[in-house]
Structure 1
Amino acid sequence: MELLSLLLSPLVLLALAAVYAVGSSLIRRRPAVRRRALVRFARRVDLPLPDAPLWAPVEAALTRRNVAVDLGAQIGIAAAAVVGLMLGHPGGRTGDIGAELGLWGMVVVGASVAGAATGSAWAGARDARRGAPAPGSRLARPTASVITDYVAPLELWSARLMAFAAAGALALGLVIATGVDTVAPAELLHIGTVLAAVVGPMALWLGVVTERRLLDLPQTAASTFELAWSDALRAQVLRDVVNAPLAIGVSTGFALLMAASFGVGDPTIANGLLGLLGAGVLGLAVVGIASSASKPQRHFRQRLWPRDGASYPGVGSDRPAGGSH
């Protein structure tokens, strides 16, 4: 417990975040690392590897996204650490180091994911505004793309729902408090719990606004193959943005359940809350496994580039001759 307390201390988190951000930025820019990242990504999205001159811009865009995700995550952790320094070391207020370390860990996870999604969205928006193909060669779709073209329904709606996990946990706590004598409902309503309950829905609202702005940005492509790669990169960014409210809602929701289980004062209710927390973890794992099995990275292929279509990348006449999986 002492080691965990040390690792989660704000000053240590600040130092680790700074070291990781600098180290990751340097490593991800190495040519061999950039190439491996592109090869892995092409395999995940089921696209042939791009040939020159498309290889360089795709590799650069993917690298910028990966660096921005790492940097954003560490900025999120650093922001959480600053808040921790302002509020005091975990365990310093209630004396229950185990409970507060659990809460603090949830805050760090949520801040990290929020920062990563912000970095990904920033990189994606910046790349969408870069350059354009030669005049007269730009492709355009007859209809505008929507979020469901890039994010699978299970992934999209589970993220939307779980953004309200903390609000649901607080509501459950208030219901329980009305039936016990050990804690009053008013004791649950303070600045910390209210902020935890609203941060998920706020993140969802910001995420939806960001999704719409990213979808409104133009896609510049001179071939169907280039457009398919643009879709692959866009889908990755949109999935990052969609999943941020999920992580924030789940982390704050689980933190509230954990805090309530330690503070309710009734062993039966405390065990019930911990059981509910365990059920939530299990349910989240089941949804995650089901989503992973559906290969969400390739959802945009099914929606925008069906295999039986004439313009399917890798089948059409504009596929790079040397491209391979």
Structure 2
Amino acid sequence: MDLAIWIAISAGVLAALAPITQGGLRKINDKELGKYVRKAGLPLPTHLREPLLQRIAGRERWALYGGAIGMALAVVTSLVFGWRDTTGGMLVMLAVVFGGSLGGVIAILSGSHQLRREGPRMARAQATELSDFVSRGELLSARLAPIAALVPAIVGAVLLTMLPHGPAPELTWWTGMAWTATGLTVLALIATELVARLVLARPQHAESRLELAWDDVCRAESLRGLVQTPIAMGVLAALSSLIMVGLVLINPDIRSGAMQQTFILGMVMLAVSGLAVLGLMLPALMSWLSGGRSFVLRQLWAGEDFSTDARERTC
């Protein structure tokens, strides 16, 4: 697929990183905000609307910055090295996902995940932990990501040693791409665990139960975004290994006189990569279908009635 098509797809992914405020660059999308509030499952009185929008804008702005910078660097790199096909396209897609995630991490470290950065604090009956904000399925998928990335990379490398001829030119580039994506997946998981601890260690400031519940929702969303980073990297790494093997096997010089062998090797690689992606995504997908955004409310605020807290303030 041509690099220009990949750039267009990546631009769409980049725009999807900021659906509500466009990073504070454009008018608020009230329709998307309404969807966000409905999925959160909490009332949003007037006095909390602006703090929430500022928090969302900060997160979306950093995600856009990170994704745009990653995309620009990847496009320049692809043009310099002449990768105007799927090689450059996958690099651009990886850069957008990784850059957007890195921007989200910066937003968290800067405090943009908090609804209120100072003020009174409400006491909790017990301390919170990561599993209160992120479902077990999402955590399991994130921690399986390095395995899902590593297994196809290893299998792909082994399958390519079984070829009857020497390696094709595409092998050098895609071997590096696959192993780079695998390494980034491992780094993403390590960073996720470390940053999550920093987030959980920060105090939560709130004047009411409703404000604290909204802060929990904001915190949970940031933590879920972190956890989804190694998942996305794991999927892209597995696909990189599949494409690496596929590009080599469809090379006419490789297929010549070995049609059946290359077909079998291709089917094996397709099965391994497919199972890796399926096994990686299934636990998280089950959690998403059961209402991932409302998980924190079920975990920390089960049975709570916020109707009293939702009364509008009078000036």
Q: 1:314 is matched with which residue: 285, 306, 309?
A: 306
Equivalent of residue 210 in structure 1, options 195, 203, 218: 195
Percent of pairs with identical residues: 27
Could you tell me which of 1, 5, 10 is aligned with 1:7?
A: 5
C-alpha spacing 1:20/1:175, structure 2 compared with 1 (3 Å): closer
User: Which residue does the alignment assign to 1:165?
Assistant: 148
Deviations for 1:99-125, whole angstroms, at most 9, x for unmatched residues? xx1x44333333222222222232233
Q: Specify the alignment match of 1:151 in structure 2.
A: 134
**2:226 corresponds to 1:232:** no
State the match for 1:59 in structure 2: 53
Equivalent residue of 1:251, what SS?
helix
**Residue 269 (structure 1) aligns with:** 265
In structure 1, runs of 5+ residues without a counterpart are: 91-96
Q: 1:36, CA displacement in angstroms?
A: 4.0
Q: Do the aligned residues in 2 keep the contact of 1:166 with 1:200 (CA within 8 Å)?
A: yes
In structure 1, distance between residues paired with 2:312 and 2:116: 26
CA distance in 1, matches of 2:246, 2:26: 50
Scaled by the length of structure 2, the TM-score of the pair is: 0.79
Q: CA deviation at 1:47?
A: 0.7
Distance 1:111 1:291, change over 3 A: farther
**Paired residues of 2:104 and 2:226 also in contact (CA < 8 A):** yes
For residue 305 of structure 1, the aligned residue among 274, 279, 301 is 301
Aligned length: 294
1-structure distance, mates of 2:102, 2:52 = 20
* Rounded Cα–Cα distance in structure 1 between residues aligned with 2:89 and 2:3: 10
Aligned amino acid, residue 108 of structure 2: G
CA distance in 2, matches of 1:78, 1:25: 23
Amino acid at match of 1:166: A
1:108 aligns with 2:92: yes
In the TM superposition, residue 240 of structure 1 has moved relative to its aligned partner by 0.7
**AA matched with 2:52:** V
Equivalence map 1:224-263=2 (5 Å):
224-263=209-248
Equivalent residues of 1:225, 1:313 under 8 A apart: no
Q: 2:65 aligns with which of 67, 71, 80?
A: 71
The Cα of 1:42 is off from its aligned counterpart by 1.6
- Point out where structure 2 has 5 or more consecutive residues left out of the alignment: 255-261
- Deviation at residue 250 of structure 1 after TM alignment: 1.2
SS of match in other structure, 1:8: helix
Partner residue of 1:85 out of 75, 79, 88: 79
Q: CA RMSD in A?
A: 3.4
Change (3 A) 1:219 1:160: same
Residues in 1 aligned to 2:24 and 2:160: alpha-carbon distance in whole angstroms: 53
Report what 2:258 is aligned to: none
Q: Which amino acid aligns with 1:320?
A: A
Using the TM superposition, give the Cα deviation of residue 280 of structure 1 relative to its aligned residue in structure 2, in angstroms: 4.8
> Do the aligned partners of 1:155 and 1:291 also contact (CA within 8 Å) in 2?
yes
**1:176 has 2:159 as partner:** yes
Q: Determine if contact 2:66/2:101 at 8 Å carries over to the other structure.
A: yes
CA distance in 2, matches of 1:313, 1:108: 46
Once residues 196 and 26 of structure 1 are traced to their aligned partners in structure 2, the CA distance between those partners, rounded to angstroms, is: 30
